[in-house]
Each structure stands twice: as structure tokens, then as C-alpha cells.
Structure 1
Amino acid sequence: MTIQWFPGHMAKARREISEKLKYVDIVFELVDARLPLSSRNPMLDQLLQQKPRLILINKADLADTQQIKLWEKYFAEKGFYTQAINAQENKSVKIIHTKAKEALKEKIARDQAKGLKPRAIRVMVIGIPNVGKSTLMNRLVGKKIAQTGNKPGVTKGQQWLRSGKDLELLDTPGILWPRFEDQEIGKKLALTGAIKDQLLHLDDIAIYGLEFFARYYPAALQKRYHLSEDDLLLSGPALLIKVTEKLGFKEDYERGSERVIYDVRQGKLGGYTLDRYEEMSALDDEK
């Protein structure tokens, strides 16, 4: 299965991002804590160049805590300011304001030395679809002003929003890269909901998810679907058949696939991280 998704509004957003970078002081790049590396758009490094950046590792409540710590360290070593957050929580707002000032402390000091009047920090908020940008925007602004949805492609335009006295935010649509050179990344994005389900073979994605949990979080898989240790040794398709039976869906494997994907996305199997730091960081460093 080859996964591709690059709607027209995403190409437009890429152009607009490039045009409007000059108006902002810093970029907030949201990534998904369940796939901190795979949910980064590699095209952004070229677009953003030397613009100060704060990487916000969102949906931390759904991810593996130990893996989050490792990825925070990874991004810090790359020279980025970084912070794990849960955009659903109010406490994230104060943390983000503090981190933004920290990332721009040198610029703020230069402006003060020049006698310039302090102004709000201008921020571009960016990230792939379904990473939680609109939820974060609403939390920062303090009211529902950005449209949200647990599906990709909700935000289609750009808008400036105010967050207290400290931040002015430029929202942008989520953009994926035009093609996935690594189909493994495509499967990860599909499993977490960054790609529209209508474009996928759900059984393939469910099998991928089951194989992953059987390898890295077997106890969670056993508990959720009442599996034996021998069941975990089954091939992916056979494991989907077994889980479908355990769910009482008989031979309705499409329904079984939908349930598995739903459970994974909603954290019903506990916190997990698809991008394993010990594996992916080494591969990324080789590029």
C-alpha cells in the first residue's frame, strides 16, 4: 500500500508560509509526541532556515513518558528549544509563553538596549495535520476561535490571534510533504490520524498497529484484547483475525480494524511512541 496525500490548499499554505515568515519573530512547530520525528515536515527546515524555533511535543498524555524525555533531549542537542505539552491543559499556556521568551531572550535584550518599546512576540504556529494546532491556538487565546477536529485538514486559511499581552499568533493550515519516501512513516501517520481514513486500507493500518504493540507493548495488547502469550506470536493478519474474534465481531475484519485503530488513537492501550528514539535518532543522524 502506497500512502500519498497532498491537497491543493497545502501547496498554497507552503507558499504563504514562505511569504509571511518575515513578519514573525519565532516559529512554534508542533509535533506529535507519539511520532516526534515522523510528524515533522522535512520541507520546513528549508523553508524556516535560521528563524528561531520552539518545538512543542504535543499530545504528551498519549505517549510513552520515557520516550518523550529522550526526544526532548534529541531536539535540544539539535539546537532547538523544545517542550512537551498537552494542548488540552491550561498550564501549557504559561509554559509556552515562558519558553518563547527564553528562545528570544537575545533579541529582546537587543531591542531593550536600542530603547525600543516592548511589543508582543509574533509567532507562526505550524505543523502537519491533526497534530493539535487548532486546539493549542484556542487554549492560548482563551476561547474557541480556531476550528478544531480530530481529523486532518480542518484549518484551511490563515489568521492572526492574540494570546494575552505577550504573543500574537499566526495560524497556518497543516501541511504534509508531497510524498513519503519512507512508507513506514506513512503508516505511522495513518495510524495516528494525520491522513484521511478514506485514503487508506484500514486492515493494513490495523495490522501495522497490532504488530507494533506486540513488539513494544505486548502487555497492553494482551490486557486490552484478552490475548494469550501465544497469540502475540501470530503474524499480523492472523493477529487481526484473533483480535476480531475476541471483540465478538466474528469475521467482520473491517469492523475489527476500525476498533483497533480507534483504540490506538484514543490511548485505550496506554501511552505509546511509534518513533523509537533508540532506532530513529541514529537513522536521522546518518542523513
Structure 2
Amino acid sequence: MEERMHINWYPGHMKKTKELLQTSLSLVDIVVEVVDSRIPLASKNPDIDKIAANKPRIIVLNKEDLANPSMTGKWIDYYQKKGFIAIAMNASSGNGLDRLITAIDRAYSAQKEKFLSKGMINRAPRIMIVGIPNSGKSSLINKLTGRKSAHTGDRPGVTKGKQWVRVKGNLEMLDTPGILWPKFEDDRVAMLLAFTGAIKDDVLNVEEIGFQLLHRIKNMDHTLIEKRYGIEVDPEQETIEIMNEIAYERKFILRGKEIDYHRTGQTILNEFRAGLIGKVTLETPPEHDNKSDVED
């Protein structure tokens, strides 16, 4: 199986969302971008860097409970060196919410001082929350408000339309639907987004994606596969052989003793996304990276 993907997925509502971001940006003071801690660069939309270049930025590395803690720390350092305020949290449980509130206060301090110096009453910070589908953006808003003010779901793209949400009595947040970018210039990025569920499974080859994810985990730490599936893994072993062993162990066998690769691939994806295979981070921070995240 080859690691190639040909995805050009840019639904109409995502085009409208990008336009919404551009027109709404003048209304907000701070942009909070939610990314997936397991793929902190691939899940960061480069469109946001272009659209919000002149606004204070906070990067929320969400789903920290599913990622390697050591790698999450390295990613926080990476983004801070690039001029962002970066924090890690778990939006589903609310762990790290206090760090976000502190980060918001820090990002707004300059604007607050500006108001006070002019003798103006300090108004509430206005914040835009952005993120690709399935990043946990809606879950974050629900935790900030203490109620289910934004619709959430396991499938990407559940949040619809523009919502102003009042938080902590005086903080205003503008929620927008998750957006992807028009096309994937890098197959690696598309693959990583597929692994984490940012791209709907029904537009993908689940067998291929499951195989590629298994291959990556094998190369990172094959013991994770051994512990989860109860099989012995040789680091030099072909990935397809390991996938076969998982299928036999789980009894994913069709009539004629053929392996059900679709069910096997889907199982690998589901268990990775649920954190059952372990705390896995699929990207490492670029070394000596002096270039922008945005490719011109």
C-alpha cells in the first residue's frame, strides 16, 4: 500500500466560513485557534495565519489526554518561539481551562492598557474561536460557558453558522464552523487529518488509512501495538503482516477465510482516536525552522 491521497475537499459551507472569518475579524480582539495535540501542525489551518496575522493569537493544543505529554511540551515551546501564546488542555473534561483564561487575560493586557490610558471604560474582550473540523472547538465553548451553547458531535463539521457566546459574564466569544483549506498540497497532512477524523471516513479508503496509521505507530513504538492487540511485533516486520495478525486476533475474517481489511482498518482508526492504543503524537516540531507555517 502506498501513502498517497488525492483529496480536494472544500464544501460550500467552508468557503462561506472563510469569508465569514474575514468579515468578522474586525469585531474581535483575540483569535483562539484550537488544534489537535496529536498533529499540532497538520491540524493548524494556514488560512488562519493569513486572515488573523495582525491579531493576538492563542494556540490551544486540545485533546492533550490523547497525546504524548513530552511531545506536547515541545510543541508548546515551538509555538511560543513563533510568537503565539500556547497552552494544552482537554476541552471535553475542562482540564486546562484555567490556563486558557489566564492566556486570554495575558493576550488582552495591551488592549486593556490602551483603553485605560485613554480614560475609557474597560470593555469585555472579544474573542474568535477557530479550528478545523473535529478539533474540539465546540466542546471548548461548552466548557467556557458551562452549558451546551454549541452543537457537538463525533463527525466533522457539526457546528453550523455564527454564534456569539457570552463567557464568564463579561467575555464575548465568536464561534465559527470548522474549516479546512481548499486543497491539500501535502499528502502527509491529508493523511494525518484522516487519522484523527478531521476528514470524514466516508470519503476515504478506510483500509488504506488504517494500514498507514498502523505503519506509523509501528515505526514510532511497536510495543503499543503489542500491548493493545496481544501480538508479538518485530520492528522489521512488514506492516501488512501485523495487520493480518490483528485481524486474526480479533476474528475479522470473511467467508473463504479472507481477511476483512475494512473492519480491521476501521478498528485501528477507532481505537487510536479513542486513545486505546496509547498516548500517541504523530508529529514532531520542525527543527531549526525559521520559515513561516504558511507557504506562499
Both proteins in one fold, TM over 0.5: yes
Residue by residue, what CA displacement relative to the aligned partner does 1:2-48 show, whole Å, maximum 9, x if unpaired? 12321110000000100010000000000100000000111111111
Question: Is the alpha carbon distance of 1:284 and 1:191 closer, same or farther for their aligned partners in structure 2, counting shifts above 3 Å?
Answer: farther
Question: Is the alpha carbon distance of 1:136 and 1:104 closer, same or farther for their aligned partners in structure 2, counting shifts above 3 Å?
Answer: same
Give the AA of the match of 2:199: I
Q: Which residue among 255, 264, 267 is the counterpart of 1:259? A: 267
Alignment of 1:68-79 (within 5 A): 68-79=72-83
- Measured after TM superposition, the shift of residue 229 of structure 1 is 3.1
Kindly indicate whether residue 164 of structure 2 is the aligned counterpart of residue 134 of structure 1: no
Asked if the contact 1:97/1:167 (under 8 Å) is kept, the reply is no
Give the AA of the match of 1:274: L
Asked if the contact 1:28/1:123 (under 8 Å) is kept, the reply is yes
The aligned counterpart of 1:193 is: 197
Kindly indicate whether residue 56 of structure 2 is the aligned counterpart of residue 52 of structure 1: yes
What is the percent sequence identity of the aligned residues?
39
CA distance in 2 between partners of 1:194 and 1:28 (Å): 18
CA distance in 2 between partners of 1:244 and 1:191 (Å): 19
Unmatched tracts of structure 2, length 5 or more: 254-258
Residue by residue, what CA displacement relative to the aligned partner does 1:119-157 show, whole Å, maximum 9, x if unpaired? 211000001000001100111111011000111010120
Kindly indicate whether residue 212 of structure 2 is the aligned counterpart of residue 204 of structure 1: no
Give the AA of the match of 2:264: G
Q: Greater CA deviation, 94-103 or 60-69?
A: 94-103
Give the AA of the match of 1:224: R
Kindly indicate whether residue 238 of structure 2 is the aligned counterpart of residue 248 of structure 1: no
Q: Greater CA deviation, 249-258 or 23-32?
A: 249-258
Aligned residue pairs, count? 284
Alignment of 1:123-202 (within 5 A): 123-202=127-206
- Residue 104 of structure 1 aligns to a residue whose secondary structure is helix
Asked if the contact 1:120/1:165 (under 8 Å) is kept, the reply is no
| Structure with the largest fraction of helix | 1
CA distance in 2 between partners of 1:229 and 1:19 (Å): 53
- Measured after TM superposition, the shift of residue 281 of structure 1 is 4.4
CA distance in 2 between partners of 1:284 and 1:244 (Å): 44
- Measured after TM superposition, the shift of residue 236 of structure 1 is 2.7
- Measured after TM superposition, the shift of residue 166 of structure 1 is 3.8
CA distance in 2 between partners of 1:285 and 1:165 (Å): 40
